A and B are shown apart, each in its own frame.
Chain A
């Protein structure tokens, strides 16, 4: 055994081989953690769904089923989310992190449905406060995820939703819709595309490093 040799199960190893093991451990732990964290497509999907709902409810004549725009679009988006998520997460493991994030977003989604449908059908709908409440809930989910992931970008996205909520309280008429669409454009569509770019970049880097992803 030379000066740098280490005894491992009766054989000698040098520092290079030991360092290789550390690199292997780190890359595999990273691969395990990253396997379930890409949800850019979902932000994009919901951003598009919001735009479709707003366009449908604004452009159709009053008698043309305008009131159906939000319920139909939102239910369709939920079903699409469940279907795509099931397909993307098939055969993939779950971690404490993925369960924690799923808990935040599921609770937020259910909260919006529990709030929005009764308010819309109660006859006490008031656009400013209604949209502000929705935007606050979206902000809570983003900021909660951002704090959990220690990811400033998502905290900023959540803060933008909260800023939109404040703005919604201050504007009148169609201003509420414009605020919501602007926030959707940045916080859902823009953020979703940004995440999808990151996902493809991370996968390319992982492939280059020899770590395969399912």
Chain B
């Protein structure tokens, strides 16, 4: 019997998976945009983003835009690789039934 790949528990959480998927398609995103897309609360979103940041999957930057403070998140190369590995593992677990 072939060995089944493990899924990265940091990526696997629904909220963190949603965040990485969102960030994979953009250069960087504001905290408020991520909150609106996921329908999450500030506290919950902040906790998940912190976990992703600690894993080195996202990078956070605070700056001022038009004299207003904004918090920007972008996916790191490590995060992109982790998401790609996770998707490949999911497909392997599902027996290659999903194409593309």
Contacts and interface: CB of A to CB of B under 8 A. Distances in A.
Interface of A: 6-9, 15, 18-19, 21-22, 24-26, 28-29, 31-33, 35, 91-96, 99, 211-214
Given A7-B6, A21-B90, A28-B21, A212 B26 contact: no
A91 B33 contact: yes
Interface string B35-53: 0111100000000000000
A32 B22 contact: yes
A35 B26 contact: yes
A31 B34 CA distance: 11
A6 B93 contact: yes
Interface string B77-91: 000000000010011
12 contacts: A6-B4, A9-B6, A21-B17, A22-B90, A22-B94, A26-B21, A29-B25, A32-B21, A32-B29, A91-B33, A93-B33, A213-B36
A94 B17 contact: no
Ordered nearest first, which 3 A-B pairs have the shortest CB separation?
A32-B25, A28-B21, A93-B26
Main secondary structure of the interface of B (DSSP, over half): helix
A19 B91 CA distance: 9
A213 B37 contact: yes
Contact of B37 (A15, A21, A31): A31
A7 B4 contact: yes
B23 A32 contact: yes
Contacts of A29: 21-22, 24-25
B30 A8 contact: no
A32 B12 contact: no
B91 to A, nearest CB: 8
Interface residues of B, number: 30
Nearest to B73: A93
Interface string B2-29: 0010110100101001100111111111
Most buried by B among A6, A21, A33, A211: A21
A8 to B, nearest CB: 5
Contacts of B17: 21, 24-25, 28
Given A7-B6, A21-B12, A96 B93 contact: no
Contact of B7 (A9, A96, A211): A9
Contacts of A92: 30, 33
Nearest to A214: B36
Nearest to B14: A24
Contacts of A35: 26, 33, 37
Contacts of A6: 4, 7, 93
Contacts of A93: 26-30, 33
